[in-house]
Structure 1
Amino acid sequence: MRAAVHRATEELVHEVGADNVTIPAVARRAGVNPSSVYRRWGTASALLADVADRRQDEGTPELLGDLREDLERVAVWTLTDLSRPGGVAFFRAEVAPDVDERRAGLRACLERVSARFRAPLDAAAERGETAPTLERVLDRVVAPLYFRVVFSVPGTDERYARGLVAEVCAPGGDAPGDRGRG
């Protein structure tokens, strides 16, 4: 049932937008009773957050053994996932305060994103390479990607993502605009 409901939710988000997804419409599309969907998820926001949670675990790129290339692959994967139809809507649903007042969804999202970027950093450390800190990667790669996609900033593409990684991997690890700051 979960897979059918998730598939129906994704289809509806693509067709009508996240703001117009309702539990009855999802249930109808999935071929299940609406009461089953309400019982399991409670609200459309909680359902969208659950779909977002599952989507985050799919398809993370395999590490190749080169820090910069691995970080680029993860950055491009993150950008692609967030940019695909419904990507921002699913992200917003996952971190929305009405889904979880204690902000566990936000923490879980940050933990997943951190783990995705921590993997190449840890692998590089195991190979004895010098790598930027996870905090630096989150500040200089992840945050700009999310900001630019959420606010539809033009020029947020694969080249931009790779450029962020190049900057954070460069000696000194300055991000664009950091030079000259004391």
Structure 2
Amino acid sequence: MAEDLEVRRRPGGRSARVAAAVHEAVDALLLETGPGGFTVADVARRAGVNPTSIYRRWGSLEAVILDVEAARLAEISPMPDTGTLRGDLLEYARTAAADITRPGRLAFLQALIGAGDLTVEQRQSFLMQRARQFQGMLDRGRERGEPALDYTAIVDCILAPIYLRRLLGVSVGEPDLELFVERAFTTTQSRPAVPPIHLGRKVFPA
């Protein structure tokens, strides 16, 4: 018990090592078996930690997977800065379409869908860091005088068709990605404004 409390209290040191070991174990298991092929006990055994440490820190296996995938996305897929919002969105769409074809990379979506025991707040907490990165890209476009897109247009018109086509086994080519990006601009211009989500000091459209 004392060890578990120590793990939760300290942002660095042993806590950081435990988190890193768990992340590495989950990432390896996702590649080997997929999100439905292992348990918290498997993660703990691979990471060399007590299962109670995982439950106390994350609460569930789905939460661990979401945490791992959110961190991975932030690291390997930063928001592009090409000089135009259209260029940024197209480059991001290319990265997302390529990344999702790699083994185990549907894990984030599958874990999010299957995480029935998580509250709305818990689900959103894993997406907020990504949301802030999107906000920075959208802010740059606004500052350049480009169309003010909202996040729902990016999700609905770019990310959703990429993920859905992957789930259905349908390929996505460059013309498709260009079409998705154009739809994001067209959809935003023809729809009413959506309520914003406040992300700390910034405002991120819902």
TM-score, with length taken from structure 2? 0.68
8 Å Cα contact 2:25/2:47 also seen in 1: yes
Alpha-carbon distance in 2 for matches of 1:106, 1:38: 16
Partner of 1:90: 108
Q: Is 1:12–2:9 an aligned residue pair?
A: no
Deviations 1:39-83 (A, max 9, x none): 323432222122123223223133121222111112222333433
Q: CA deviation at 1:107?
A: 3.1
Deviations 1:101-152 (A, max 9, x none): x322443456555544443332122112235444333322222223223x23
Deviations 1:10-56 (A, max 9, x none): 10111122111112221222122333223323432222122123223
Q: CA deviation at 1:163?
A: 3.2
Partner of 1:107: 124
Alpha-carbon distance in 1 for matches of 2:100, 2:152: 20
Q: CA deviation at 1:95?
A: 4.5
Equivalent pairs counted in the alignment come to: 171
Partner of 1:75: 93
8 Å Cα contact 1:95/1:106 also seen in 2: no
Q: Is 1:154–2:170 an aligned residue pair?
A: yes
Partner of 1:22: 39
Paired AA for residue 111 in structure 2:
A
Paired AA for residue 138 in structure 1:
V
Given candidates 120, 136, 157, the residue that maps to 2:137 is 120
8 Å Cα contact 1:52/1:91 also seen in 2: no
Partner of 1:180: none
Map 1:154-173; keep pairs closer than 5 Å.
Answer: 154-169=170-185, 173=186
Give 5+ residue unaligned stretches, structure 2.
1-17, 188-206
TM-score, with length taken from structure 1? 0.75
Paired AA for residue 56 in structure 2:
R
Give 5+ residue unaligned stretches, structure 1.
175-182
8 Å Cα contact 2:67/2:126 also seen in 1: no
8 Å Cα contact 1:27/1:34 also seen in 2: yes
Partner of 1:41: 58
Deviates more, 1:158-167 or 1:28-37: 158-167
Q: Secondary structure at the match of 2:75?
A: coil
Q: Is 1:3–2:31 an aligned residue pair?
A: no
Alpha-carbon distance in 2 for matches of 1:115, 1:148: 26
8 Å Cα contact 1:18/1:89 also seen in 2: yes
Paired AA for residue 100 in structure 2:
L
Task: Provide the alpha-carbon RMSD of the alignment.
Answer: 2.9
Identity %: 34
